Amino acid sequence: MGSGKSRATIEGSQVRQATPGEHPSRPPTDVENPKVLFLLGKGRAGGTLLNNVLGQLEGFTAPGELPRLWTWGLTEGWLCGCGRPVRDCPYWKPIVDRVLADSQGVSPAEVTRWQNELLTWRKVPRLLLKSPDSLEEWPTLASYVGVMGNLYRAIARATGARVIVESTRWPTAPSILGLVPGMDVRVLHLVRDPRAVIYSWKRRKALVDRPGNPEMQRFGATYTMVSWWARSFLAELVSRRWGRERAMLLRYEDFIADPNRNLETILSFVGEPKQNLGFVSDGFVQLDTTHTVGGNPDRLRSGRVELRLDDAWVQGQALADRLIGTVLATPYLRRYGYPFFPKRASWPDDGGT
């Protein structure tokens, strides 16, 4: 990192350590009961950026969308955020070896089959009604919960991190619902103006983290809004289940406007002391190489990255898309503090979130 902090290499991974005197004392990592910060919300709302920034904090590790480890990473050969195939990554290899050993030789293909059964919209009502003491009634769920618990603990052991940032954003993943024993869970619901999300999902974006570099799938305004609405509703439902002490709301726009203040808020929220945020200054963040699986292909970016509000949609969005977004999201626009008639805050750019 460009901030000049010292490093600790733990089984091939890097976790930022404090400058001498920066933190007089730190609680030890609880590998059996790690803190897990889940990011909820719709894709293209800045989740990959927030995940990568949080991963720069001392004592944090941000491996991205963990269910993608079994599919994109170990089955389909996508790249880790460091640019290596996940199977060859020095961060992931000891973690995967440990999980497979602790899970009695389960295969990535088998875990993928479990996810295909569990992580679907049709299973949402059933999962919401589940409790940790009723898992055996659903053998697939019980097996999946066991493997994911082993995965979180293996990440904590290998990295020494006190906080694992999980950016899956699927609102009824068993771990988010508190079905994985021993996890000290916090939930962060990240939102972005839904009209900006519509605009982003219609942009062309190359998947540079998979073989052949195909384009990301694009979606129309109606589909995106239905998905945004459903995820927002479920994210709020899950947040209410955890209560104010363990759930918080963050707007993407607010994070970009004042990243330092919001990082301090997140540190307090997860029960971590204040720390030096020198890697964020003057509208830029200095990103170390990440070890993310899944997420926007921007997860491969490192070095000095500008934190600037991407609001090209305000002038560039088609009228029909704007109307669909505004009408369908009306209750949430008011709740999240978004104007009905937005104004441009910055100049267009060539890329975007």
Digit-coded pLDDT (tens) for 192-220: 999 999 999 998 887 777 777 778 889 99
Which domain, by its residues, includes 176?
33-336
The reported pLDDT for the residue numbered 206 is 78
Q: What is the mean pLDDT of residues 225-237?
A: 95
Handedness of CA 303, 215, 108, 128 (dihedral sign): positive
pLDDT for 349 beyond 90: no
Residue 18 lies in a domain: no
Judge whether 238 and 176 are in contact, CB under 8 Å.
yes
> How far is residue 263's CA from residue 47's CA, in Å, rounded to a whole number?
14
pLDDT band at 14 (very low <50, low <70, confident <90, very high): very low
pLDDT for 259 beyond 90: yes
Nearest residue to 238 via CA among 118, 124, 117, 119: 124
The reported pLDDT for the residue numbered 345 is 66
The reported pLDDT for the residue numbered 123 is 97
Residue owning tokens 């990011």: 39
DSSP β-ladder status, 35-40 and 184-191: parallel
pLDDT tens, residue by residue, 303-336 = 999 999 999 999 999 999 999 999 999 999 999 9
The reported pLDDT for the residue numbered 214 is 76
The reported pLDDT for the residue numbered 153 is 95
> How far is residue 328's CA from residue 332's CA, in Å, rounded to a whole number?
9
Residue 151 lies in a domain: yes
pLDDT for 281 beyond 60: yes
Residue 17 lies in a domain: no
**Burial readout 23-46 (b: 16 or more C-beta within 10 A, e: otherwise):** beeeeebebeebbbbbbbbbbbbb
The reported pLDDT for the residue numbered 208 is 74
How high does pLDDT run on average in the chain? 88
Instruction: Please count the structural domains in the chain.
Output: 1
pLDDT band at 3 (very low <50, low <70, confident <90, very high): very low
Taking only Cα atoms into account, the Rg of the chain, rounded to an integer number of angstroms, comes to 20
Residue 298 lies in a domain: yes
* DSSP calls for 79-123: BPTTSSBGGG-TTHHHHHHHHHHHTTT--HHHHHHHHHHHSSGGG
Torsion of CA 101, 103, 104, 105, to 10 degrees: -70
Query: Nearest 5°: CA angle at 327, between 322 and 332?
Result: 105
Q: Is 125 exposed, middle or buried (0-12, 13-18, 19+ CB in 10 A)?
A: exposed
> How far is residue 280's CA from residue 307's CA, in Å, rounded to a whole number?
9
Residue 349 lies in a domain: no
> How far is residue 93's CA from residue 28's CA, in Å, rounded to a whole number?
24
Bridge partners of 304, per DSSP, are 286
Q: Where do runs of H (alpha helix) occur along 45-91?
A: 47-54, 67-68
The reported pLDDT for the residue numbered 250 is 98
Residue 4 lies in a domain: no
Residue 1 lies in a domain: no
For the domain that residue 154 is a member of, what is the CATH number? 3.40.50.300
Q: Model pTM?
A: 0.88
Residues ≥6 apart with Cβ < 8 Å to 70: 108, 111, 112, 115
Nearest residue to 45 via CA among 323, 336, 339, 320: 336
In the chain, how long is the greatest CA-to-CA distance? 56
CB count within 10 Å of CB 291 equals: 26
Residue 19 lies in a domain: no
Tokens at 272, concatenated? 């971590």
Q: What is the mean pLDDT of residues 76-82?
A: 91
> How far is residue 118's CA from residue 110's CA, in Å, rounded to a whole number?
13
